Structure 1
């Protein structure tokens, strides 16, 4: 059946990391890569070693690079592949995904050997609008560009000319060229606006988030700047550097389908321990993680699962693999929609549902983090003091162009938040 080569690509020169045997679905790091002094593993769950990893060990990382749910079904249908054939889907859409990893057929050097394969083609406003008519249209675009974007939402990857306005200057990558933005929409019309408001408000609460803006089309579209891409100033041509990333589900070796499952000993406590052990700046990263959970509670985001937190893997000064917590993403209120579960993706204290969180659970949350209650109160105070004004300002267009409906979406979002903000105020005053 042939093999699969796994490469890393920062700019335009791929480096072979290792190989997947299709028949056994095992992965082995390349000996040449292991010999490099600056080599970094694909994942914390797949440390560098000469021995191959078996199929169950590699599946969480590699399958975690693919889309999920309806988006994956549409992509598989477009490519004529079985939904469960995750290796086939990886190869078919192996040129561009989260991080800097490429997955190609072994021996396929048609694109990796040609510098001319790197480039961009302009996307017209009509083309851009048509991409988001349905899941099948987004899947068609991703299949044509061989892009694989993790998650369940309807999304595509494009590059954007930084000198152009948000509605113009969109570019389709050719060959191995990298995208700079993820564009997504939803079958629920308000979701792009809600996420835009939440992302903008998070920044006012001291939480690192990528830039976002709204685009009008057949359906409202949210454009999110990729934090795993760095645009380089190299003359007139767009030059983009890829940054190696993985999400927490991959880091813990958890299958995407189990991203909502509570980790043994508690997900919050487990992530906190991981941060303290491997982060290059554990205090700062723990603060960001803790703030993000409090912010998600405030806005009513019950879907902040393990795949919604990512890390950038780096080689530490002492040779150990370390990481930095990536900016937060997918911050969206789910409690506005009765069809969505009110169970928390990560329990706060012992609370399984968002409505069960009280001051006692928030005190337990501090213990799970391994920090003082005072520290959590300080972070909660910043959110209580800034989140409403941040949403209001974004809704009125202070952070960029919005739709006529956006101020009303902001009002509804704030109204939904009020009971949870009271819980946080009570906690802060205790």
Structure 2
């Protein structure tokens, strides 16, 4: 088996990979259906309301992620994930029933979005930390990258399927299909062989465990650089569901099916990006270059003259996004102490997902006032700028110098190590 799929040798990981693919497809069905329902049924193409619903999905990340990380370090992963996956499926079922009975109102979507986000706040750090229990430590980076591949393969299938299903049957059945898909991870967790797991040491209940995790991050400059980059890009640059819906409807005059196809093109690039990362050791350089590449691609995306140009440019945009995201996730998991992994990944989720309630209303408002193109351009400029700024910060902090290698255009950064630096350079493993 090739190095790209090394984690597939482990039976428990195979169960989880398939289950994640199915459940993640359901997530994308729900996201497209909810955005379209709010945009076209509950409002008259009001992107601001879509932004509010999106923000409510992610607001609980800000409120509860830190505490959820402590839970992920205390409670066995299988038990916690069975509860969260059942909860997400129940929320999708309620969404479907509300739509099918014709009683749906905007405030219903507000409440359901917040409840779904609360469950996700607990689920995300637990799920990320659990990956390390499915494979040996030396395969963790590969497992994280393949998980990202499954998620974005689902993104390739889910939005396009949701758009077609909405055209054929309406929004309600899409929510019901989504609810059924969350049985897959519950079954997979039940089937896993306990003797093939690589369990982490769980921490006992004690005071100050959240502060301990925050102090750990403050002492790691590499992690701080990652979190700052991810925060800015996530807040302003990763609102593709919102901005592509605006572009599809208000600029290109397309239907739900065409809206879903745009997400599919971006997902194709995302799969290419995550599989590329699966073959490599995660590095800080890849994160910053991925953010710069993503910002540049997003600027070109905002300048697209036609629908099909927009769709084609979504592929490199997705590639840059996943190079950055997957490298960041893998680097943080592999360079974090196992007994702190839940708390550290909760802080990562807080920054990565919690930035959305801050950024999506801003981007939605920009789209409403100045048009969809400007909403995309602002995100691209912000992503490119923070990548350059953090790269300069890293070079100054580690007294670095730029070294141009033979494999142009990849640029390495080397310099003196500092007490909080994880290595002597951004290239060094």
The alignment's TM-score, normalised by the length of structure 1, stands at 0.29
After TM superposition, the score normalised by the length of structure 2 is 0.29
Higher strand proportion (structure 1 or 2): 1
Name the one with the larger helix percent.
2
